[in-house]
Chains A and B, each alone.
Chain A
């Protein structure tokens, strides 16, 4: 395990943010930290990257302790924070060369590394323009390139695609997948389940400062069961009656009730019959394969259920 965090606690004043969080990441894999806003994702990343000390708990990265051997840890990691860390008044190339020089590459080597990265991230045309003229997607790509100058073994990405348009997001995803194929370990945080689904080998769901669930995407999906029927009603009163009838929890859409299904026609018939007998008119029925959204919902609505898969 190249990242091993055990029993992390962190509070800011009276706000408890982390409450016994454990994380393990195998070398060469991608871990996605998933959780609603304020769940403690950024706090976790800051602890793992030596920026913040945990109140309790230990973290080892590549065998080094993040508190006692911070400099050694910094030699093997890099971090791309939630907000891009670039100098607007320097060009893309100058930004990269600066980091190269800080990593004590000679000037020619730093320039070569910069050029390689600019090519890889499709920024060659813009490399001698000041960063202030870059689009959001270009800035994100350059920001990621900045954290690759040192050829780190573990890369931490805090919400790498938040605020990007779909096409820039896809480009970022490709860049991240590229990294994985070169053997780099990645820990990323995201609010997008689709992103976790696409990129991660394992997902850790944080809620209330602890791990609410963790596992592969498939395992997490199968945990919420198989298919689901979404029943749409005309009025909320009907939703309530149907919810009581099937003993199903209400979802986010006030007019839709989702109930677990095995996907068979038989089950669909039974549900419709039950509704007719109870006199609840249903407007529309759709069958639904589980997504990570379902996992997310089912785990974050029931507070602090810890499920290990």
Chain B
């Protein structure tokens, strides 16, 4: 009776991942509230910083040119946060059991959510950059600069999305996943995203200088607006690769543990 031949194989693993990616993207597209929020919130933040605080913050350049990279990273955080919730939803509903009783590698569910997260962020980042340009953001970047910035951001988004997926796996409920990912959203504020770090008290200054987001922001800012980058680019790259590796291992390990029986 069992006519469906399955079991193992790299081709099947790829096909399963593609199926789950299609699913997650479809779910993201239809979760209109979340999608809209992940675009609207960064836009609101940007307006707030540009129009309200912008006059008071002296960064030595046009503030909008200063703040846009930070907003982009913030927006990435939002996009990834909902990933933690989608993963937690699958892990705590019957869905994970259904997948685990199929002869497939059920971790494809994570690949699906992470890929959808990257796609969502791609969309919201594009919208945010478009809006920034409309508000007066004047990038001074060659095509190669854009490509490098996009590459770095992609690594960063991927790292954050795997981290979010890992948080979704350990969360006991969708609510706690949202709390955990809230912490992740908080990180960009403690960086040079919105104000130069040398204006902060020395403790916060030390924290924000040495957290992964500051070098990423500095690099993106440098690439897009022509400020000097120096070694920051390599530090940012190292942070992103390191973070990606750790997050991926973190998520994969936890998933194995949770689904081991």
Contacts and interface: CB of A to CB of B under 8 A. Distances in A.
Do A and B make up one complex?
yes
Interface of A: 46, 49-53, 71-72, 74-79, 81-85, 87, 89-90, 94, 98-99, 101-105, 130, 146-147, 150-153, 183-184
A159 to B, nearest CB: 12
Given A102-B19, A104-B5, 7 more contacts: A50-B100, A51-B261, A78-B102, A89-B26, A98-B22, A104-B6, A150-B102
Contacts of A101: 15, 19
B4 A151 contact: yes
A130 B1 CA distance: 31
B104 interface: yes
B31 interface: yes
A71 B98 contact: no
A150 B7 contact: no
B103 A71 contact: yes
Given A79-B97, A94-B26, A102 B16 contact: yes
B15 A51 contact: no
A164 to B, nearest CB: 16
Contacts of A103: 4, 6, 102
Nearest to A183: B1
A85 B97 contact: yes
Nearest to A87: B27
Contacts of A84: 94
Interface in B7-26: 7-8, 12, 15-16, 19-20, 22-23, 26
A145 to B, nearest CB: 12
Contact of B31 (A50, A76, A89): A89
B2 A51 contact: no
Contacts of A94: 26
Contacts of B103: 71-72, 74-75
Nearest to B19: A101
Given A85-B93, A153-B1, A183-B1, A79 B19 contact: no
Contacts of B8: 71
B145 to A, nearest CB: 38
B41 interface: no
Contact of B2 (A53, A82, A105, A150): A150
7 contacts: A72-B103, A75-B103, A85-B94, A102-B104, A103-B6, A151-B3, A184-B1
B110 to A, nearest CB: 15
Interface in B75-133: 93-95, 97-104
Nearest to A77: B101
Contact of B95 (A51, A79, A85, A184): A85
A151 B4 CA distance: 8
A136 to B, nearest CB: 15
Contacts of B5: 104
A130 B98 CA distance: 19
A81 B97 contact: yes
Interface of B: 1-8, 12, 15-16, 19-20, 22-23, 26-27, 30-31, 93-95, 97-104, 260-261
A74 B259 CA distance: 14
A251 to B, nearest CB: 36
The 6 closest A-B pairs by CB, nearest first: A85-B94, A85-B98, A74-B103, A81-B94, A53-B261, A101-B19
A79 B101 contact: yes
A89 B27 contact: yes
A98 B98 CA distance: 12
Contacts of A50: 100-101, 261
A87 B20 CA distance: 12
A152 B3 CA distance: 9
A51 B95 CA distance: 12
A150 B1 contact: no
Contacts of A130: 30
B7 to A, nearest CB: 6
Contacts of A153: 1-2
Given A83-B94, A89-B30, A183-B1, A78 B101 contact: yes
A60 to B, nearest CB: 16
Nearest to A103: B4
Contacts of B20: 102
A105 to B, nearest CB: 7
B166 to A, nearest CB: 21
A184 to B, nearest CB: 8
A234 B31 CA distance: 60
A77 B260 CA distance: 18
Given A52-B261, A53-B261, A87-B95, A75 B2 contact: yes
A118 to B, nearest CB: 18
A85 B2 CA distance: 22
A101 B102 CA distance: 12
Nearest to A71: B103
B6 A75 contact: yes
Nearest to B3: A151
